[in-house]
Structure 1
């Protein structure tokens, strides 16, 4: 079993909310069931929804702290989550399945099962790859999170869509700046050559002096 794969649960949970875009897809039991689908069929209560939302807030803090370079804070919050939601690994072959590992056997709620796996998976990824791999999307206003598994630590966006949107915005900003600079240069050149300007007047004086010289 790849423990690191459970980090995807942390990402999925955090990304059910984006406060900057006023979006939240974890407000009902049905939405929670969709999130909890990897855990199999389960009964979800309003208390589970509230617990998942509380776990989500703390996982968000881990990502935000790591993204801003406050690694000790990220570690502190992550450790507190793992303490509250410890893994209880057991080997089982329930329901006729082959022998496999359960990480959170005996957890009191389905939210606690999810929280234990999410926290452990995130801890494995952060310690193996580095806390700087816990990213927050840079395509404002999006603030969804991701785990950067690229070889050169270059990922900045949580999705291709956000990457495209950011690149298009940057291109348009460059074109706008280029147009502004070109416009200012053209305006300055026109002003310098306009009648009545010091340059134009100077040119006329020089021309007049040149025509008067032979008569001396």
Structure 2
């Protein structure tokens, strides 16, 4: 399991416009095409609710409030229990199994799967790298969230685009101030 990827996907989930089933399918992308046919309206509704629940975790981390991050994640883990299981693709065909963990059982909805991945990814990231590795973009007017896996924990923007835009704006402001 790549928990960092799950944590990064949780940021993408918070940032997404999950208006309908098509938007949820878009979040799943090509790597998870096998889930596309299982997405229903109820998944989009549940994920929009989860976005509102998850955003405060990123905001608390952004302000350096480690205890609040952990408190919020624990509340979400209690509200959305994770039901992991071990799977082994190829085990039925007599091949050597590729044993690995799934974070949601086979009866889980797409929304339950994405919620479980998000919570396990963020929880593992907090335990492994610290509770201040989540952030809210510093660029104005962007409010997207991100996961900071940089070695020196220096990320301030959700994307290269926001970083460039903020740097150009700061440069222009310095030029304008110097000209006056």
Normalising by the smaller structure, the TM-score range is 0.7 to 0.9
The equivalent position to 1:69 in structure 2, one of 64, 67, 75, is 64
Looking at both structures, which has the greater relative contact order when contacts are Cα pairs under 8 Å and sequence separation is at least 6?
Answer: 2
SS at match of 1:132: coil
1:48 maps to what in 2?
Answer: 43
CA drift at 1:3: 2.6
> What are the residue-to-residue correspondences of 1:101-120 with 2, within 5 Å?
101-106=101-106, 108-120=108-120
1:80-118 CA-to-partner distances (Å, cap 9, x unmatched) read 211222222222235868443221114542211110110
Could you say what secondary structure the match of 2:135 adopts?
A: strand
Q: SS in structure 2 opposite 1:93?
A: strand
Question: Match for residue 168 of structure 1?
Answer: 168
Distance 1:79 1:132 in 2: 16
Unaligned runs of 5+ in 2: none
Residue 177 of structure 2 is matched in structure 1 by 177
Query: Aligned to 2:19, which of 16, 27, 50?
Result: 27
TM-score by length of 2: 0.86
Give the paired residue count.
172
Query: Does structure 1 conserve the Cα–Cα contact (< 8 Å) formed by 2:88 and 2:98?
Result: yes
Partner of 2:86, secondary structure, is strand
Superposition deviation, residue 50 in structure 1: 0.8
Are positions 1:10 and 2:5 aligned together?
Answer: no
Aligned: 1:91 with 2:86: yes
Provide the rounded CA distance (Å) in 1 between the counterparts of 2:107 and 2:116.
Answer: 9
Question: What are structure 1's unaligned runs of at least 5 residues?
Answer: 17-24, 181-216
Give the Å deviation of 1:74: 2.1
Tell me which moved more, 78-87 or 111-120. 78-87
Distance in 2 (CA, whole Å) between partners of 1:32 and 1:120 is 20
Q: Are 1:138 and 1:156, in contact at CA under 8 Å, matched by a contact in 2?
A: yes
Q: CA RMSD in A?
A: 2.0
